[in-house]
Each structure stands twice: as structure tokens, then as C-alpha cells.
């Protein structure tokens, strides 16, 4: 006899309020992507599903601008892709240089430590980025085997230039891992041309599909490091050798490794199809135009952008300085309660100091920019009136 009673909430339908998700992610998904998630399930090794996986692989290669054979989607969110990069490349005692200008560098450093790597950090205040000179000094000082860099630091809303980093690292015999979760698709990224050994992103950002399938690509030098490991990869689930076989990347018959997130792969395939139809160049341009429109509107409201250097501003996530005497959360709460518009606060070092507005994929449209500006203006005005 069952002892635990039936949960009362499960006897009622779920609630689905329509919200405009203008934070740093997830973004709203296009109707086509949502519809793809409702398609009938297939077996995870059925030939029809294998073809969908192959379509995703070619779409990721296009999005990353890479010919790497080992290109696939990790079954998990962006954190799983980050963990995959770490556990496959880091062995005990390996020195890893981590560029920290927000929480994502610190998060990767934590993972390196858990895999018994030796963490060396280069730190910058939130809102700043690293020069090639900064990086070269770190490479000379620490002689690392691996360097980690965040392309789009969503916590501090910075865009880190990647050009030259791969070539510089390779000069010092160092591999480079790029976290482009908050940037990929919204700004240029050329994995092969820029000599980036491992790149990963998340599905729920610019690609605008549900979180759960995260694109990643390992270049030849990274795979050479994996193949020459002295110790076994600690995670079976994230072992890139096993995943490469399951995704048909190694030229061998596919073996069962795990049950892929079938519906998530459907939605990723549809999101990559939408990107291919728009083209990368037009997608980059659309995000740049919407960011410029948002920045201009913020200036007209008398608000200050958090990142001072225009070249270092992340188009997909904008940081806005909270004015003195204004409660950021009350403004965000008013936007959600009255307009169902999500505006996020800061994260890590920026918590309580900024708002973060996302212009991600499907949401990067002028009308959505206008909605955010209106919600900010009203929320700030209400607080000023309440202080009179």
C-alpha cells in the first residue's frame, strides 16, 4: 500500500504564463523550435534520429565555422559542456591558466581543481577584458598546458576579443578552451581561422532553443591531448571518445553510450536550421543593430552602460548601471508584474550594481528593445515619485 499521499498539485495542469525573457538567458524559443520539441519520439539509434544528429553536427560546424570532425552536442546544459572540456583535457598536475573577469572563469577554475589540475588565474575587474600582452605575460609566467577564456562574460557583460589568442597559446605549446555560451551566434566567432582548440556554447541563448543540448567542438590538437592522456577520463558520461563514437565522429560503427535527449536534439536541429536560413552574417548584424538601439535608448533615459569601452561590450547581454537611490529589484519586479518582461540583476561581482538585458537570438528584435526601455523608464520613474 502506498504510504506517501498523491501530491495535490499534480492533479492540476501546469501554468504557462507568457513572458518576454529579456535577461541573459534562456531566451524565448521561436514557435518552430517549440513545435519541434513536440514531435514523436524516435529511438536514440534509429536511422532517422541518427540523420537528425548528423544534421545538428553540420549545423554546429557552420555556427562555429569549423571543420573539426569531433563536433557534437553534449547531453546537458552549458555547464555540462564546460565540464566536458575540463574533464577530457585536464589531468592531475596539469597547469591551467584561467582568465577571470566574471564568474565563468572562476567556475572553470573550480572544475579544474576538482580534477586535480593546478589553477593559475589572471584576474580583471568586472567590466574589463584581457589584452594579448596580458595573456602572454601569464603564459610566460606559468607555462600552462591549457588556457580558458570566456568569450561573452554574461555576469559582467563583456565581450573578450579572441583573435590572436589561439595563435599565441600555440606558440607556447598551450591549448585554448573558449566558453561562448552567451556569445555564439550573436557575434563573430571563427574557430578554425582563430585556432581555437575547444569551443562550446549553450542552446538556450542565441540559438533560442530549450536548454539541454549544448554544442561543442574539439579540434585536432585537443583530441591529440585526449588520446595521449596518461590517466583515464574520470567521467564516463562526458568522455569525448565515447561521445564522438555515438555522434558518428570517429568513422567507427556507432555504439550505445547513453540515451540522447531526443526532443532536445529535435529543437536544436530546428534552431540551427533557422540560423542557416538567416545566415551567420545577418544574425551578427541583427544583434549589433539591436544592441546599438538599446544603448541609444538607455542614453536617452540618462542611464549609464556598465562596460566603458564600446569595443568590449557584449551585444547579446548589456549591463546597465543602477542609478543611486534606485532599487534594481523593484524596477525588475515592476517590469515582470505589469508587463511580464524579464530584466535581470547582476551576478557575482555585479550583483546589486547593474541590470542585465539580454538580446538573444529570437528576442533580438527592435520591438523587444522598446518594451525593455519602457519598462525601465516606468520602474525608475515610479521609484523617484515615491521618494518625493
**Please, which pLDDT band fits residue 282 given cuts at 50, 70 and 90?**
very high
- Work out the angle between the directed axes of helices 220-227 and 78-89 (0-180°, nearest 10): 60
Give the pLDDT of residue 145: 98
Which residue do the cell numbers 499521499 mark? 5
Contact 214, 64 (CB under 8 A): no
Give the pLDDT of residue 387: 61
Contact 355, 328 (CB under 8 A): yes
* Cα–Cα separations (whole angstroms), residue 123 to 97, 99, 134, 183, 196: 11, 6, 10, 21, 21
Q: Where are the domains of the chain?
A: 20-25+279-386, 31-277
Give the pLDDT of residue 165: 98
**What are the tens digits of pLDDT across the range 293-340?**
999 999 999 999 999 999 999 999 999 999 999 999 999 999 999 999
**What number is the average pLDDT over the span 213-225?**
98
Q: Name residues whose C-beta falls within 8 Å of residue 298's C-beta, 6 or more positions apart in sequence.
A: 304, 305, 318, 320, 373, 376
Residues in the chain: 388
pLDDT mean across residues, the chain: 97
**What number is the average pLDDT over the span 64-76?**
98
At the top level of CATH, the class of 31-277 is alpha beta
Provide the 3-class DSSP secondary structure of residue 34: helix
User: How many Å apart are CA 153 and CA 313, to the nearest integer?
Assistant: 10
Which residue do the cell numbers 538567416 mark? 278
Whether residue 2 is predicted with pLDDT greater than 90 in this model: the reply is no
Report the percent of the chain where pLDDT is more than 90. 97
**Please, which pLDDT band fits residue 138 given cuts at 50, 70 and 90?**
very high
Give the pLDDT of residue 388: 53
Give the pLDDT of residue 338: 94
Contact 268, 76 (CB under 8 A): no
DSSP designation for 27: P
Contact 150, 102 (CB under 8 A): yes
DSSP designation for 173: T
User: How many Å apart are CA 56 and CA 20, to the nearest integer?
Assistant: 27
**What number is the average pLDDT over the span 219-243?**
97
* Cα–Cα separations (whole angstroms), residue 51 to 47, 95, 195, 295: 6, 39, 29, 42
Strands 146-150 and 175-179, bridge-based pairing:
parallel
Give the pLDDT of residue 217: 98
Whether residue 246 is predicted with pLDDT greater than 70 in this model: the reply is yes
Give the pLDDT of residue 113: 98
Minimal CA–CA distance to 44: which of 69, 66, 67, 75?
Answer: 75
**Please, which pLDDT band fits residue 384 given cuts at 50, 70 and 90?**
confident
Which residue do the cell numbers 563514437 mark? 245
Q: H-type helices in the chain, by residue range?
A: 31-37, 47-64, 78-89, 103-114, 132-142, 165-171, 220-227, 240-246, 262-278, 280-300, 328-339, 366-386
CB-based burial label for 7 (10 Å; 0-12, 13-18, 19+)? exposed
Which residue do the cell numbers 515615491 mark? 386
DSSP 79-106: HHHHHHHHHHH--TT-EEEEEESSHHHH
Whether residue 287 is predicted with pLDDT greater than 90 in this model: the reply is yes
Give the pLDDT of residue 16: 86
**What number is the average pLDDT over the span 135-146?**
98
18 is known to lie in a ligand binding site: no
Q: Which three cell numbers stand for residue 23?
A: 535577461
Q: Tell me the β-bridge partners of 266.
A: none
CATH number for the domain running over 20-25+279-386: 3.90.1150.10
**What are the tens digits of pLDDT across the range 20-66?**
999 999 999 999 999 999 999 999 999 999 999 999 999 999 999 99
CB count, 10 Å around CB of 294? 24
Minimal CA–CA distance to 277: which of 87, 30, 68?
Answer: 30
**Please, which pLDDT band fits residue 1 given cuts at 50, 70 and 90?**
confident
Strand 354-358's sheet: what is its strand order?
317-321, 354-358, 344-345
Amino acid at each position: 500500500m502506498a504510504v506517501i499521499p498523491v501530491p495535490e498539485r499534480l492533479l492540476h495542469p501546469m501554468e504557462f504564463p507568457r513572458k518576454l525573457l529579456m535577461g541573459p538567458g534562456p531566451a524565448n524559443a521561436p514557435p518552430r523550435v517549440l513545435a519541434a520539441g513536440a514531435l514523436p519520439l524516435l529511438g536514440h539509434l534509429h536511422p532517422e534520429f541518427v540523420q537528425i544528429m548528423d544534421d545538428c553536427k553540420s549545423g554546429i560546424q557552420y555556427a562555429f565555422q569549423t571543420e573539426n570532425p569531433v563536433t557534437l552536442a553534449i547531453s546537458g546544459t552549458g555547464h555540462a559542456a564546460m565540464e566536458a572540456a575540463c574533464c577530457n583535457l585536464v589531468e592531475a598536475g596539469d597547469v591551467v591558466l584561467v582568465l577571470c573577469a566574471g564568474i565563468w572563469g572562476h567556475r572553470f577554475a573550480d572544475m579544474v581543481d576538482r580534477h586535480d589540475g593546478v589553477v593559475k588565474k589572471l584576474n580583471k575587474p568586472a567590466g574589463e577584458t584581457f589584452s594579448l600582452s596580458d595573456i602572454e605575460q601569464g603564459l610566460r609566467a606559468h607555462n600552462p598546458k591549457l588556457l580558458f577564456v570566456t568569450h561573452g562574460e554574461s555576469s559582467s557583460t563583456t565581450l573578450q576579443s579572441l583573435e590572436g589568442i589561439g595563435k599565441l597559446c600555440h606558440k607556447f605549446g598551450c591549448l585554448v578552451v573558449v566558453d561562448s555560451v552567451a556569445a555564439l551566434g550573436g557575434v563573430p566567432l571563427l574557430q578554425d581561422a582563430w585556432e581555437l582548440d575547444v569551443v562550446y556554447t549553450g542552446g538556450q541563448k542565441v540559438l533560442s532553443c530549450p536548454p539541454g543540448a549544448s554544442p561543442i567542438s574539439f579540434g585536432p590538437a585537443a583530441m591529440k591531448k585526449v588520446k595521449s592522456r596518461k590517466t583515464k577520463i574520470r567521467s564516463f558520461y562526458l568522455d569525448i571518445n565515447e561521445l564522438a563514437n555515438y555522434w558518428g565522429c570517429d568513422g567507427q560503427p556507432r555504439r550505445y553510450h547513453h540515451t540522447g535527449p531526443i526532443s532536445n536534439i529535435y529543437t536544436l536541429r530546428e534552431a540551427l536550421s533557422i540560423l542557416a536560413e538567416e545566415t551567420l552574417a545577418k544574425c551578427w548584424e541583427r544583434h549589433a543593430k539591436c544592441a546599438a538601439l538599446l544603448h541609444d535608448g538607455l542614453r536617452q533615459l540618462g542611464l549609464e552602460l556598465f562596460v566603458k569601452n564600446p569595443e568590449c561590450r557584449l551585444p547579446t547581454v548589456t549591463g546597465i548601471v543602477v542609478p543611486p537611490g534606485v532599487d534594481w529589484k523593484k524596477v525588475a519586479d515592476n517590469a515582470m508584474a505589469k508587463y511580464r518582461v524579464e530584466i535581470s540583476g547582476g551576478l557575482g561581482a555585479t550583483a546589486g550594481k547593474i541590470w542585465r538585458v539580454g538580446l538573444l537570438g529570437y528576442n533580438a528584435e527592435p520591438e523587444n528593445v522598446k518594451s525593455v526601455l519602457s519598462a525601465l523608464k516606468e520602474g525608475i520613474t515610479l521609484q523617484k515619485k515615491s521618494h518625493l
